[in-house]
Every structure is written in C-alpha cells, then in structure tokens.
Amino acid sequence: MKTTQKKYVFVCMLLLGMLYSCSRPTLTAIQPSTAYPRQILSTEGSGLFAASAVWDHNLPSETNLNTAFLSARYFQLPDAASSGNHPIALRTSKGTSNTVTNVNVLTPSGTWPNPRIEEIMINNIAEQTSIDANYLLAISVANGDADAIVTINGTDVPTIFTSAIPTDYFNGHVPATYGYPVYHYSLHIAILEDQNWGSTIQVALRNHDGSTSPQQSYTFPSSNATVDSDNDGLLDTWEENGYTAASGTVIDLKALGCDPKRKDLLVEVDWVTAATPDPSIWATIEAVFDQAPILNPDGSSGIEMHLDRGQGGVFTGGGTILTDHTSMDFGTNTSTGYVDFYTYKAASFNTDRLELFHYGIFGRARPNGSSGRGEVFGNDFMVTFANFTGAQAFATPRNQVGTFIHELGHNLNLCHGGACLTPVDWNETFKVNQPSSMNYRYQFPAVSTDCDLTSDNAFGFSQGMLATLNENNITEANGICDNLGLDFNGNGSTTNTGAINLNNDSNTTDISIDYNEWGAIRLDFRASGSSWNNN
C-alpha cells in the first residue's frame, strides 16, 4: 500500500474511532422537506458525524441512504421513491434519533438530467516533489449522485461525496418544461496520486445510472508557488502569508477576510458626488455573491465579496470622492468636460492592489450615454447613469445594484447573452430565456425568477436551466417554462405559433440559449487571454 493510501486509511480509522464518543443524533429539520426522487437534501441537528440517514424509518421498506462522507449532513433520496410522505431518522452506533421528520416526495417530472461539471478545484495537495504531487481534487457538479464516480482520462478513481447545495426551486415548478433543471449541486473529492506539475487531465463524473458528464480539461499548477486552490485568481500563498507588491508592501489578505479554500472577490469603488451610491446597495450586492450557487473546495457555498468603499477598519482605499466630469470612459476623448477613467485610477487607486482588486467608479455619464461599461474579462468597470430619469433613474437603489452587477459581470467574462465567446448568441440582448442581470431585459427592473418575465427583484446570473428557443418555431402557449403561455409578439394573445421575434432585434432567425453563467464566471483576471493588460 502506498504511503498516501495508508494516510487516508489512517485518517478514516481515526475518525471512525471517534464514533464511540458520539451521542445519539438529533434531527431538527430537513431542507427542503418536499423534493423529487434522487434529490440531495440537507439535515439540521446534532450528532451528525458518522450518522446514517434512515429511509422509511420503522417501515418494512426501511433502508440506509447514501450520505456525505462520514456525516448525515447531506443525503440522497432513492431513485424509485414513491410519491407521498416518507419518515426519515438519523442513526449512529449510539442509537436512532428520537425525532423523525417526513419528506414529501413529488411525482417525477421528465427524466433526470445528465451530470454537469461546474468547476474543478483543489481540496488538498500532499507528498510534493519537484516533479509531481498527490492531490485531492474538488469537483463541483450539477445533478451529481451521492455515489457518483470521477473518471480521470477515462479511468475511475476513488471518489468521496462531501457537501451539496440542495434547492427547493422545483417544488413549485414543472421540471419537464426546463431544458436543464438543476435539482442540486454536489461536491466530490477525487483522490489522485503522482500527478505531474503542469500536466493536463480530462475529468468526467459518472452517475450511478451510467449517465456521464461531458469531459472537462484541468491543468495542474506548475509548482506549489502557483497553487490557486479555489480558482479565484488569488494564489494560496498570498491568502495564507500575504501578498508582496512590487513596492515591497505586504498586503495581509487574511486580514481582509480571504481564504485559500473559499472564493474571494476583491473590489474597490470610488465615485463623483453626482453619482454617490445609495449606502443600502452594498449589503445587497455582497449577498448576491454570498448566495451564489457555487461550491468551494472546503465544501462551503458562495463567493465572499470584499467591497472596499472606504467603510473603515482594513477597508480604507475606496470611497474617494473624485473630481466631477461631464462624461467618462476608458481612453482619450476630446469632449468638453471628459475625464479618462485611467486618470482617476492613477490618482486614486493604490497600485499595490493592481493584481488583487477590481476597480469600479460611479460616474456621471459616458460620451455615448450608456449606463456603464466593464472590461470583458478584466478588472475595471464603471456605472454611469446619474443623469437617467424615469424607471431607470439613478436614485433607485435597485437600478444601482443591477447595473453594478451587470458591469462587474463583464469583468467576470460574461456578455449580454451568456458567457463571452460561447457559440451562437453570447452577446444577444433582451432574451426572454436568460434570467440574468447581464440581460438588458433585467438590468434595471431586476431579474424574474419564475416563468412570467415579470421582475421578482432578484439579481445575479443565470444557472442555464431554461430550454433553448428557436425564433423560427415558437409556441406561445408553452412560454419559457411551466407551460405558462406568454404573449411574445404583443398582440394580446398567447396562442400564436411560428416565427416570432423574442429579443427586440430585426429578425426571427435567432437561436436563444440560456447559458450557465454562474458556472462560467472567471475570477482570475490576470489569467492568459484576459483584458487586464497590467493597468
């Protein structure tokens, strides 16, 4: 047995040995308590370590369910679970929980989607040499089974399910009407030995029904010094030991709240007086990223945004009141009262932060009158609609949040119709089936989270769940989901079929795709191919 395998076995034995100190588990809640067969759910309670989830407790059909590694924190419902209530209990060597909670199982709708890899990260690196290292790869997957197997270059490797993001979204919707319904996200640890630094592998995940995700390439870091476990563009050594700028200044990223195993997004913001942001927007923006449907190598979810708007403590770089202008943009312009964005940046942004922070400015206007601009896959963006009136007035905090997230989204490699440079319609605007702040349809009124196109005051990016629409062959009665009829052509009826314009352009030839934007964002703006350009 290899040394690393012995270590894994030793750790498992040590953990299992702790069973004798465990008390009887307590189950207080299951989330969600209504779900479809095969969904992964979470439990709340105590004594979850080394517990199993017991399905149909005290019934003839009682059985143990697939759970997360050494914990009943997450468990998966049986594929063939019958509709109706099923009692769930937790059990350890010390006994079974006194509290039993029912899960209401819904009748399946459509077929279970194939798994989809969202991201490949590093949970841990062990036994490094100058040539190779042993890895625990953390693989985030949509609709992965608890007992799914990771394959590397076509070969199965030891796989451990550790955590998940359950959802109750489809409790009130019809999954069969969606193109790719996401029932849950799950995190799987793949154990790999003797992988060469800088080498590239092909990764896939196979569910227990044999369905397999498309392969995704992953390139290992070139050395221990370049490890970025969570792919946020902040090297692990920076987040653990501080970042040393070219000036010699050391920036303590840990003091800023950064963690090498949880995605961090650093943003500094300044503004002119005429475009002073409403103070309420910051908590809303941070919450959008904190609640993102994204799993981290440590099993946590979301992106930790660190917004420096000069609020004090360790955040004193932002919040500078800039001199006024008539208009602002990237680069030179001869318009009267124009100021180059980079003139402001040179005066107000500390270059020690250049490799770490995005920089945003709330300005008065752009020369072309648009509401803002963000470098595509870059680090600079602006919000510029202080002169707007009506429903798009700057005074509305909702409009500020939507536009901020929209322009920052460009920095994260998103365009108006999805991930930039993806096939077909990545920059198409006003799509009916792209529920995203990147979509002009939802930038100001905020995103619709259901099937009626009416804002639900939500913000963020799409998960790629809605079905693809062909403008040349539309059935209004089907709508975009739940078979909710929609009047796409505005003639007062929802019974029209055939060629219908869905995105306010001049033709009916578009193929409209709902892209998985959250799964496509790029936080590492210094990476090859970005627009960063060291400025």
CATH of the domain at 120: 2.60.40
Domain boundary at 105, 135, 158, which? 105
Peptide bond into 277 cis (omega under 30): no
Residue-level pLDDT at 157: 98
Whole-number Å distance between alpha carbons of 216 and 201:
8
Domain boundary at 105, 125, 142, which? 105
- Does residue 434 sit in the same domain as residue 397? no
Q: How many Cβ atoms from other residues are within 10 Å of residue 441's Cβ?
A: 21
Dihedral, CA of residue 214, residue 142, residue 110 and residue 509, to nearest 10: -60
- Does residue 53 sit in the same domain as residue 142? no
Cα 444 to chain centroid distance, Å, stands at: 21
Q: Residue 385: CA atoms inside 13 Å, Cβ hemisphere, count?
A: 25
Residue 90 and residue 53 in contact, taking contact as beta carbons nearer than 8 Å: yes
- Does residue 248 sit in the same domain as residue 392? yes
Residue-level pLDDT at 273: 98
Residue written as tokens 């909670």?
A: 101
DSSP string, 236-268: HHHHHH-EE-TTSPEE-TTTTT-BTTB-EEEEE
- Does residue 364 sit in the same domain as residue 491? no
Whole-number Å distance between alpha carbons of 263 and 268:
17
**Is 215 a member of any domain?**
yes
Q: Which residues contact 305 (CB under 8 A, 6 or more apart)?
A: 264, 265, 267, 285, 286, 289, 290
Residue 268 and residue 353 in contact, taking contact as beta carbons nearer than 8 Å: yes
Residue-level pLDDT at 423: 66
Residue 115 and residue 207 in contact, taking contact as beta carbons nearer than 8 Å: yes
Domain boundary at 187, 207, 226, which? 226
What number of H helices and E strands is found in the chain?
Answer: 5, 33
Whole-number Å distance between alpha carbons of 421 and 413:
9
CATH code where residue 42 lies = 2.60.40.10
**Is 464 a member of any domain?**
yes
**Is 316 a member of any domain?**
yes
What tokens appear for 136 in the block?
């625990």
CATH code where residue 372 lies = 3.40.390
Q: Which residues contact 361 (CB under 8 A, 6 or more apart)?
A: 269, 270, 271, 272, 322, 328, 341, 344, 345, 382, 383
Helix (H, G, I), strand (E, B) or coil at 338: strand
Which is nearest to 91 in space by CA: 100, 78, 83?
A: 100
Cα 2 to chain centroid distance, Å, stands at: 36
What tokens appear for 301 in the block?
């979810």
Whole-number Å distance between alpha carbons of 103 and 171:
12
- Does residue 14 sit in the same domain as residue 55? yes
Residue 426 belongs to what domain range? 422-519
DSSP conformational letter for 67: B
Q: How many Cβ atoms from other residues are within 10 Å of residue 134's Cβ?
A: 21
List the chain pLDDT tens, one digit each, 535 residues: 344 444 444 344 444 444 444 578 999 999 999 999 999 999 999 999 999 999 999 999 999 999 999 899 999 999 999 999 999 999 999 999 988 899 999 999 999 999 999 999 999 999 999 999 999 999 999 999 999 999 999 999 999 999 999 999 999 999 999 999 999 999 999 999 999 999 999 999 999 999 999 999 999 999 999 999 999 999 999 999 999 999 999 999 999 999 999 999 999 999 999 999 999 999 999 999 999 999 999 999 999 999 999 999 999 999 999 999 999 999 999 999 999 999 999 999 999 999 999 999 999 999 999 999 999 999 999 999 999 999 999 999 999 999 999 999 999 999 999 989 876 778 888 999 999 999 999 999 999 999 999 999 999 999 999 999 999 999 999 999 999 999 999 999 999 999 999 998 889 999 999 999 999 999 999 999 999 989 9
Helix (H, G, I), strand (E, B) or coil at 407: helix
> 362 - beta bridge partners?
271, 383
DSSP conformational letter for 516: B
Residue-level pLDDT at 469: 96
**Is 534 a member of any domain?**
no
- Does residue 199 sit in the same domain as residue 345? no
**Is 110 a member of any domain?**
no
Residue-level pLDDT at 129: 93
- Does residue 372 sit in the same domain as residue 320? yes
H-helix segments, 93-178: none
Number of independent structural domains in the chain? 4
Whole-number Å distance between alpha carbons of 287 and 302:
9
- Does residue 402 sit in the same domain as residue 429? no
Q: Which amino acid is at 415?
A: C
Q: Between helices 281-290 and 397-411, what is the axis angle to 10°?
A: 40
Whole-number Å distance between alpha carbons of 76 and 42:
9
**Is 489 a member of any domain?**
yes
Cα 319 to chain centroid distance, Å, stands at: 27
Residue 476 and residue 500 in contact, taking contact as beta carbons nearer than 8 Å: yes
Instruction: Output helix, strand, coil percentages for the chain, rounded to the nearest 5.
Output: 15, 30, 55
Residue 253 and residue 357 in contact, taking contact as beta carbons nearer than 8 Å: no
Cα 198 to chain centroid distance, Å, stands at: 26
What tokens appear for 444 in the block?
């100001």
What tokens appear for 244 in the block?
């040393």
Helix (H, G, I), strand (E, B) or coil at 473: coil
**Is 533 a member of any domain?**
no
Whole-number Å distance between alpha carbons of 33 and 105:
8
Whole-number Å distance between alpha carbons of 322 and 299:
41
* C-alpha to C-alpha distances, 331 to 343, 345, 347, nearest whole angstrom: 9, 12, 15
- Does residue 378 sit in the same domain as residue 302? yes
Whole-number Å distance between alpha carbons of 166 and 188:
15
- Does residue 350 sit in the same domain as residue 400? yes
**Is 530 a member of any domain?**
no
- Bridge-based pairing state of the strands 116-126 and 159-166: unpaired
- Does residue 29 sit in the same domain as residue 122? no
- Does residue 242 sit in the same domain as residue 207? no
